[in-house]
A and B are shown apart, each in its own frame.
Chain A
Amino acid sequence: MATPVSDSLESERPVDVAQIERSLAELWRNEQDGDAAVTRAALWNVVAHTSTSEHHAQATEVLSRASAAVPQRSIVINANAAAPPEISSWISANCHLVGGGKQMCSEEIAIVAGGDRIHRVPPLVNALLLPDMPVAVWWMGDLPNEHEEYVETLLDPADRLIVDSSCFDSPQDLELVGRVAAKTTTIPADLNWIRLEEWRAATASVFDPPDMRGRLTAIRRVRVVAGAKEENFFGDAIESLLYASWLTTQAGDGADDAIDYRFERRMSDAVGQIAFVEIVFEDGSSASISRDRERGVLMMNVDGIVSMPDSVTRTIEKQTDALIVRQLKQSSGDRVLVRALPMAAKLAKRLR
């Protein structure tokens, strides 16, 4: 929760696009003259790309909350080619109490561009990035894989591309992310992948005992049941796809042909979220993990016998800002995700 320092810092003020940096400097200089102990901090440049005003407002709110945990210069873009041709900007600061009476503040810049003016956004963003700090581009919504060049221009300075694959509408989106990983220095990150972490942790626990580790190469069937609604949206299947891809690639030989993958849908409000996983080994034995909604934990069952206490894995719903924070706290990219992406794209084709 932001703690107001002063109205001048907290409230948004419209500024001339060409004068954003100067206006920010002025904002801080004015604040230094006041009595409040204010520290300006930034560990990241976070550029959020949106295409609707609703997403723009949502991104602003999410990054404002995330900046309490990871100080950052946020640049939130709303670029809509169908809107009237204009470009405008606002600046504000987002402050949090950090103890000792000090306020820690992050800067927020909002840019709204329409029509052909959207092409002025990438160079403007480049000019506004804090030097020496890494750059994360958070692409809200579906990736415009049909406009790959536009994506590439914005990603040019990016160290990290953050997407939420649950918004993807086709396997081509997964492939585009895979290409970014393979061909550029931008490392992809996926909020959906972070949501999957509790399932990965619970599955890893099954294979923690030394005698179970060797069985990873004996997996013959992976059955994943996820929540769904009547309409069939591609993004709803991605959590299951990523899970199965991760298990296969990490298990060692990547011999996916030897594994029978079964992706099942169960009507539920928790659309896209995994509810049950079953892993069957070559000798017919199995391990399963299920979500206990009431207790908010994942339960493991190895070969039908609960021979070990259940490992507690929390299944608390994570807000988007918490997922973003998790991504930004990882100083290096997630090589495990990068490894799993090609397999996920491959399995996605089997869905069709």
Chain B
Amino acid sequence: MTVEAPVVDTNPLREGLEQERVPDASCLVIFGASGDLTQRKLMPALYSLAHDGLLPAGQTIIGFARPDFTDEAWRMAMRDACNKFARVRPVDEAVWENFAKGIFYVRGDFNDPEAYLRLNQRLQECDRSRGTGGRRIYYLAVPPNFFPVISEFLGAEKMVNDPERGGPFTRVIIEKPFGHDLASAKELNRVAVTTFRERQVFRIDHYLGKETVQNLLVLRFANGIFEPFWNRQYIDHVQFTVAETVGVEKRGGYFETAGITRDIIQNHMLQLVSLIGMEPPVAYEPDAVRDEKVKVLRALREFPRGHEEDCAVRGQYTEGSVLGEPAPAYRKEPSVNPESRVETYSAIKLFIDNWRWADVPFYVRAGKRLPKRVTDISIHFRSAPYPLFNKMSTLRMSSNVLAIRIQPDEGISLKFDSKVPGPTVRTAPVTMEFRYATSFGAEPPEAYERLLLETMLGDSTLFARRDEVETAWAWIDPLLRAWANDGRAPEPYPAGTWGPEAADKLIEKDGRKWRRP
């Protein structure tokens, strides 16, 4: 093409197409390319995006890790991974053929400056041959202790473009855990912003990539009927449950340093709390949404010092059975200290001290080796003010519950009382149900697909911002410190039960019960 053409921001031919937003082609470098995450999640997600026609022509993926692979050998390994784990499988020959043309591998140690030189050389070659135009996404699928060295080398080798100076974008994706406590999170963030600007940093919390989690915003802010009731006037309390049937599997070593509170509550569950508790954002834009979420975290009531047990319970599973199979005690799991005091269950009663939520308890619980795998949020509305019906009943009238099932069998149900047909006025609870599978049929995309695409498009709405991460740590750190220092062991609960008795008491002393999800 020889004629100088005017630059147009968006492609008008994309309007109305399924792929309405197509990112510009870039080089995505995966640090830790030989790891589990790459094989199970990242490459299958990238392949599925290619299959659905959502990747731009020229999109390039470069694996970077210590093991010795040729480009071809790594492609073969990734093809096997996609065949096993991709949403759309087996792989489609024509799609794979094209997708594989953009897959490369660079062998290297994270501490070796020569390796970064080789990587940079390969990146520049790709810019020439594949039209990636200097655009970079670095995915750090590595433990957080490698983050400083990788980002330092990337900076030193001038592989990061400062967006303030214009030019092609550079973005970095960081996997959780974002630190171990407030101090380490702050340090991680400090390191990040010495090499990258905050707007270049994409902190992945894969919960935010789930369709049902995104639907929380749609449910609340696309429907006029909920907002008038979404406050302390009408809501009695809110429950959040993240239940897993599995134990720590091969992650015993990591889990010993984390515990369920750091692993699930500090990040995933506080994200859910923020989405349920937030005020309407002024726009569906990254900072507008995250500003409102962080306000919720800032309003979380501090734990009562010295009386943490009034609002928090920790447990650890003992031997039992889950789904009919015997399950060993946590302390007998591989790589776990036989005298471990790490919690595998955590239940917390929290309050959001603001006008909307004052004195409305939010009960949050997460546990391993529970009876079923389920993530669920339930909004419990206040009872009718006067028992017009069932006057003789000694039972409290059942309240209305809006239950949001995040996984599996995603959907929403509303429970309310209805008259039982017959000559007398008797009431019984009934539910109205919406199920994704029933209404929409198609399988939703995997969370990583959505999040990788959003990163390529530069939209950080579904990623955690620095202040979100630090505010969440600032709130939960005192509890974790108190637990670490009190010398007590977590409450035991047999594998396959809904957690320790103390967790039941935590909610029952308020005259409420855990909902059976």
Contact = CB atoms under 8 A, between A and B. Distances in A.
Interface of A: 39, 41, 43, 68-71, 98-100, 102, 104, 197, 200-201, 203-205, 207-218, 247, 250-252, 281-283, 285, 295-297, 302-303, 307-314, 329, 334-337
B11 A201 contact: no
Given A41-B439, A207-B13, A216-B8, A308 B2 contact: no
B11 A207 contact: yes
* Interchain residue pairs A-B with the least CB separation, the first 8: A214-B5, A213-B8, A336-B16, A69-B441, A204-B13, A214-B6, A311-B57, A312-B98
Contact of B57 (A296, A297, A308): A308
A312 B94 contact: yes
Contacts of A71: 438-439
Contacts of B50: 312
Interface in B393-446: 409, 433, 435, 437-442
A296 B94 CA distance: 8
B450 interface: no
B5 A208 contact: no
Nearest to A215: B5
A216 B102 CA distance: 28
Given A216-B12, A250-B15, A252-B12, A208 B22 contact: yes
Given A98-B438, A200-B17, A308-B57, 13 more contacts: A43-B439, A69-B442, A203-B13, A210-B24, A212-B1, A212-B5, A213-B12, A250-B15, A297-B94, A309-B101, A312-B50, A312-B53, A336-B15
Given A197-B18, A308-B58, A211 B438 contact: no
Interface string B48-64: 00100100111000000
B130 interface: yes
Given A200-B17, A310-B98, A312-B98, A208 B11 contact: yes
Interface residues of B, number: 41
Interface string B164-200: 0000000000000000000000000000000000000
A69 B442 CA distance: 7
Given A208-B57, A216-B12, A283-B1, A309 B438 contact: no
Interface of B: 1-3, 5-8, 10-19, 22, 24, 50, 53, 56-58, 94-95, 98-99, 101-102, 130-131, 409, 433, 435, 437-442
A308 B126 CA distance: 11
B8 A283 contact: no
Contacts of A281: 1, 3
Given A39-B438, A70-B441, A250-B13, A214 B94 contact: no
B96 to A, nearest CB: 9
A217 B98 CA distance: 30
A247 B18 contact: no
Contacts of B14: 204, 208
Contact of B11 (A213, A282, A283, A335): A213
25 contacts: A43-B439, A69-B442, A70-B441, A197-B17, A200-B17, A201-B17, A201-B53, A204-B13, A207-B13, A208-B14, A209-B131, A212-B1, A213-B5, A214-B6, A218-B3, A251-B13, A281-B1, A303-B1, A308-B58, A309-B98, A309-B102, A310-B98, A311-B56, A312-B95, A337-B16
